[in-house]
Amino acid sequence: MASIPLPDSAESGSHFDETLLLKDGCPVGSGPLEYDASTMHIWIIQPTTAGNALAEGSGARLPKGQTWEIPTTRVEGSAAFDAGSSAYATAVAFVVDDSNAQVVQWSMPVMLSAAAAGA
């Protein structure tokens, strides 16, 4: 299975960490946040030999300047995620920036990694 090319650095303008951990078989979305987000919804998809793996998750009240973390759950009928392979992550956040409400979206390729033992 071909891998999705990864960006050269975290300076790609995205807001996901370049590597996401798998917990209970699903990716945990994480990364820096440049806005105060009232809510955020994320989707992570990975093409696998068994079909497409797809997970989604939501978070609320995420503060600017901190690393956010959103666990995901696999969408019914999707394939299992493969650690050590690339995936594609997308986020949509409802944010307040300088008193203006906005919808901000970002997407990027990421690597999936198995969580450390006991994590």
Burial of 94 (0-12, 13-18, 19+ CB in 10 A): middle
Domains in the chain (CATH in brackets) are 16-112 (2.60.40)
- Report the pLDDT value the prediction gives residue 19, as an integer from 0 to 100: 96
Q: What is the pLDDT of residue 41?
A: 97
Looking at residue 117, its pLDDT comes to 62
- The per-residue DSSP string of 2-56 comes to PPPPPPSSGGGS--S-SEEEEETTEEEEEEE-SSEEEEEEEEEEEEETTEEEEEE
Q: What is the model's pLDDT at position 95?
A: 87
Q: Which residues, at least 6 apart from 63, have a Cβ–Cβ distance to it below 8 Å?
A: 33, 36
Confirm if 87 and 76 have CB atoms less than 8 A apart.
Answer: no
Per-residue pLDDT of the chain (119 residues; tens, 9 = 90+): 444 444 443 443 458 999 999 999 999 999 998 888 999 999 999 999 999 999 999 999 999 888 999 999 999 999 999 999 999 999 999 987 777 888 989 999 999 999 766 55
Q: φ and ψ at 117, to 5 degrees?
A: -55, 135
What pLDDT score does 6 carry? Answer: 42
